[in-house]
Structure 1
Amino acid sequence: MDKVFTKPITKQFEFDEDVAIVFDDMLERSIPFYKEVLELTCKMICLHVKEGAHVVDLGCSTANTLLALHKMNKSYHLLGIDNAEAMLRIAAQKIHAYGATIALQEADITQVHLQNKDVIIANYMLQFIRPLQRGDFVRKIYDALNPDGLFIFSEKIVFDDKVLNKEMIDLYYAFKRTQGYSDFEIAQKREALENVLIPYTEEENKAMLKSVGFTTIETIFKWGNFATFLAKKG
């Protein structure tokens, strides 16, 4: 169970061994409708791409999305990329336990070379890329997709209206309390993520997608300050 922030923090947030061990629990208790969004992501992929499609999950962590996708369509060629060795070690154990065929690669997702992909997934990952690099990174994703390829990603978002933004944050913290997190843990994680997780507004995310060439751009799920986007390469 996630107890990472029950003690005073000594560093900024990072996906290290302590986080990797409890990461699945952290996701389900920290992200509203996490399982539903994961299922929606996989179902949208199955609806839009052909048998034998090449799918890559950037920042795959412990491979939850790829495992769910494998269960829905075993013909897909699945690749998970992450720079956290501890995450990939747990992912490999889970893949082996399920008898799935999923390739894993330890690499910096901003530096890895991608091409001829039918789907690229990036759930709760872009927000950790510095804003000065984010647009160029999304352009690399666009270039790596085949025609009609999909880019699906989920993000924490902010609102332009400061009062509404504060209300959404308060509602999110109330959600975390219902998941068993204390006010101390919530404050500790907020401090650890300061200047590490930098979210955009929903409109800024869509403008970034449009600027690199994506044609179809839709928000397919939204709860408070979390959103899932689908972008299609024309």
Structure 2
Amino acid sequence: MNDKVFTKPIKKQFEFDEEVAAVFDDMLERSVPFYKESQKITEFFTHKNLSENGLVYDLGCSTASLLLNIHRKLEVNAELIGLDNSEAMLAQAERKCEAFGVDIEVKNADILTYEYKEADVFISNYTLQFIRPLVREELVKKISAALKKEGVFIFSEKVISHSPKLNKDLIECYYDFKKTQGYSEYEIMQKREALENVLVPYSEDENIKMALNSGFSHCEVLFRWANFATFIAVK
């Protein structure tokens, strides 16, 4: 289904409800620049770091599209677990997994309090930015503690610049991209208002510093387009 969520006046802050879940895959591909390319990079590094009988967590798995793509190219026996706190998203994910006949576990869970098993890979696609800054680093520390030695955390985030002019230009560049994807000025402004104080992005440097402060030995950017970036942190 095509994303038409913000063609009408908003009445609440952004949330991952049934209306959003129904069009989420389209929303991602049209709202996140080079989304498929960043996902392919995530898949590549997941497979490179996944051992026999290993475990992958996808935090904020939404409709499980990424886990399904990872599953298709598995060369080892591995457990894939997707966590999300949106019942609407998980319902879509379960329907997809059933349709493709794959053994992927998706759970309704609070990623801040979930008891993680030792894992090879953690993935988080545009999820940390929805975690309150006061507890965001605590979550990343929890991820680091659950990873095996040399395990990886691959995460994508919207990023900001601390230069006011550059930050303004990055936002303008992004809005020009959204217009080329068929979104109207009205839809763009409606979504921006709905996300106000819900999505709180860090800068590239702040994301890297957070990872290093949380027990990772190394963190760098794998892919970046304007104010969207994919990072890898190595334990």
Tell me the residue number matched to 2:113: 111
Query: Normalized against structure 2, the TM-score is what?
Result: 0.97
Tell me the residue number matched to 2:82: 80
Report the Cα offset of residue 118 of structure 1: 0.9
Deviation by residue 1:10-59 (Cα, 9 ceiling, x = unmatched): 00000000000000000000000111111110111112232322001000
Asked whether the equivalents of residues 130 and 198 of structure 1 are also in contact (C-alpha less than 8 Å), the reply is: yes
The farther-off stretch of 185-194 and 137-146 is: 137-146
Percent identity over the alignment is: 55
- Quick check: 1:145 aligned with 2:147? yes
Asked whether the equivalents of residues 20 and 86 of structure 1 are also in contact (C-alpha less than 8 Å), the reply is: yes
Unaligned runs of 5+ in 1: none
**C-alpha distance in structure 1 between counterparts of 2:8 and 2:110, whole Å:** 29
Report the Cα offset of residue 96 of structure 1: 1.1
Superposition pairs of residues 1-234 of structure 1, within 5 angstroms: 1-73=2-74, 75-233=77-235
**C-alpha distance in structure 1 between counterparts of 2:70 and 2:40, whole Å:** 8
Query: Normalized against structure 1, the TM-score is what?
Result: 0.98
Deviation by residue 1:154-212 (Cα, 9 ceiling, x = unmatched): 00000011111111100100000000000000000000000000000000000000111
Runs of 4+ more than 2 Å apart: none
SS in 1 for 2:5: coil
Asked whether the equivalents of residues 221 and 229 of structure 1 are also in contact (C-alpha less than 8 Å), the reply is: yes
**C-alpha distance in structure 1 between counterparts of 2:94 and 2:117, whole Å:** 24
Unaligned runs of 5+ in 2: none
SS in 2 for 1:5: helix
What value does the CA root-mean-square deviation take over the aligned residues? 0.8
SS in 2 for 1:180: coil
**C-alpha distance in structure 1 between counterparts of 2:51 and 2:143, whole Å:** 19
Asked whether the equivalents of residues 172 and 225 of structure 1 are also in contact (C-alpha less than 8 Å), the reply is: yes
Asked whether the equivalents of residues 222 and 231 of structure 2 are also in contact (C-alpha less than 8 Å), the reply is: yes
Deviation by residue 1:113-168 (Cα, 9 ceiling, x = unmatched): 11211111011000000110111111111111111111000000000111111111
SS in 1 for 2:117: coil
How many corresponding residue pairs? 233
Deviation by residue 1:84-135 (Cα, 9 ceiling, x = unmatched): 0010010011111112110111011112111211111011000000110111
SS in 2 for 1:79: strand
SS in 2 for 1:122: strand
Asked whether the equivalents of residues 49 and 120 of structure 2 are also in contact (C-alpha less than 8 Å), the reply is: no
